[in-house]
């Protein structure tokens, strides 16, 4: 089932409340983000021109500074769901991989 940015639902495997956030890295992709803020989160969820967008903060220093300032961060549910493996799609052979 294709989710939309801003849509909320519960994980069918563990029941965690989630929100869909358009990926800032790939606007065609909607990532499942845990609805509740997380003290060690690395996903900043913002309303950008009416679209709920998730920005993954990969730099630990910047992430920690945002958290210290009280900015609420969340986590991508694939990172913390105990049943994440059952949702992974098989990788296409050779796609996006380098043999050397």
**Tens-digit pLDDT profile for residues 51-77:** 999 999 999 999 999 999 999 999 999
The pTM of the full predicted model, rounded to 2 decimals, is 0.81
CB 17 within 8 Å of CB 10: yes
Label residue 94 exposed, middle or buried (CB < 10 Å: 0-12, 13-18, 19+): exposed
Q: Is residue 58, in this structure, part of any structural domain at all? A: yes
Q: What is the mean pLDDT of the chain?
A: 89
- Segment 14-27 shows an average pLDDT of 94
36's CB contacts (< 8 A; 6+ apart) are 17, 74
pLDDT score for 99 = 43
Q: Is residue 42, in this structure, part of any structural domain at all? A: yes
CA distance to 14, 92, 96, per residue, from 33 (Å): 14, 25, 24
* Residue 87 or 20, more confident: 20
pLDDT above 90 as % of the chain: 69
Q: Is residue 30, in this structure, part of any structural domain at all? A: no
pLDDT score for 94 = 52
pLDDT score for 87 = 76
- Segment 9-17 shows an average pLDDT of 95
Q: Residue 85 pLDDT more than 90?
A: no
Range of the domain at 74: 36-85
């Amino acid at each position: 089932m294709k989710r939309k940015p801003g849509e909320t639902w519960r994980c069918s495997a563990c029941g965690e409340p989630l929100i869909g956030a358009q990926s800032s890295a790939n606007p065609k992709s909607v990532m499942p983000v845990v609805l509740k803020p997380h003290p060690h989160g690395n996903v900043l969820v913002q309303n950008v021109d009416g679209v709920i967008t998730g920005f993954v903060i990969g730099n630990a220093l910047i992430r920690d500074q945002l958290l210290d300032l009280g900015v609420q961060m969340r986590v991508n549910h694939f990172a913390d769901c105990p049943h994440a493996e059952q949702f992974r799609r098989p990788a296409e052979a050779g796609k996006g991989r380098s043999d050397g």
